[in-house]
Amino acid sequence: MVESCTCNMLCPCWFGVKELMIMDKGYCASPVLFRIQNGGVDGTDLKERDVVVAYDFPGPTMYDGNATSRLYIDEAANENQRKELENVFQGRKGGPMQIISQLVSKWLPTQSTKIDINDDGNNLTAAVGSFGKVKSEQLKNESGRTMTLQGAGFASAFQMENETFALAPSDSHWSDPDLPHQFSTRSGAVANFSWRGS
């Protein structure tokens, strides 16, 4: 999972505490890239499929909900894969996305689009059709080790490995005309995840 959002580094929503969720711009918008390495749903193989979920929360906090969202699914996905990816990422199969989807009041129609990804293990860029680009770079300390955060509220909710994510400042740009905002990002995080639905 590669997350980026409009807040300054680090987005306070990660802590899962409403009183700390002060959105730097008065709203929070985020394209989140999910890269499925292995897995499936109800007999449909989803291995190596890519999905971006864009969220636009009007504030004052994420927990106030009322978000507008859209899925962008890799155009290589077939009809059954698209259906199951929609079910998972719009929260209809339980799991972490059901929690987040309860905060979404409007799902825009899903888009099937080309998703081109370049990833060297530290730096990632993903061009998502004509909608935007996700750009993420893992943050290193003076000794070259990736900086991480463990045990934050949403690291647990998203079922990240060891409840840990890498800090990864972003420079993503998103311009879907149907979303409330066209935006650029600064905050970001990267993590591996393992999910089971209902």
Cα angle value 166/37/124 (rounded, 5°): 45
Residue 33 lies in a domain: yes
Residue 126 lies in a domain: yes
Could you give the number of structural domains in the chain? 1
Residue 54 lies in a domain: yes
Domain of 106, in residue numbers: 2-190
For residues 193 and 118, give the distance between their C-alpha atoms in angstroms, rounded to a whole number: 20
Residue 198 lies in a domain: no
Please say if the pLDDT value at position 65 is more than 60: yes
pLDDT tens digits for range 88-130: 999 999 989 999 999 999 999 999 999 999 999 999 999 999 9
Peptide bond before 96: cis, by omega within 30 degrees of 0?
Answer: no
Give DSSP secondary structure letters for 102-162.
TTEEEEPPPEEE-EEEEE-SSEEEEEETTTEEEEEE--B-TTSPBPEEES-HHHHHTTBGG
Which one-letter amino acid corresponds to residue 189? Answer: A
Tokens 């995080």 appear where?
Answer: 189
With CA atoms as reference, report the closest residue to 156 among 17, 9, 10, 6. Answer: 17
pLDDT tens digits for range 23-38: 999 999 999 999 999 9
Counting residues of the chain whose pLDDT is more than 90, the rounded percentage is 89
Residue 195 lies in a domain: no
Query: How distant, in Å, are the alpha carbons of 2, 58, 72, 129, 141 from that of 69?
Result: 17, 12, 10, 17, 34
Residue 196 lies in a domain: no
Q: Residue 157's pLDDT band (boundaries 50, 70, 90)?
A: confident
Query: How distant, in Å, are the alpha carbons of 78, 125, 145, 175 from that of 170?
Result: 30, 10, 18, 16
For residues 124 and 81, give the distance between their C-alpha atoms in angstroms, rounded to a whole number: 24
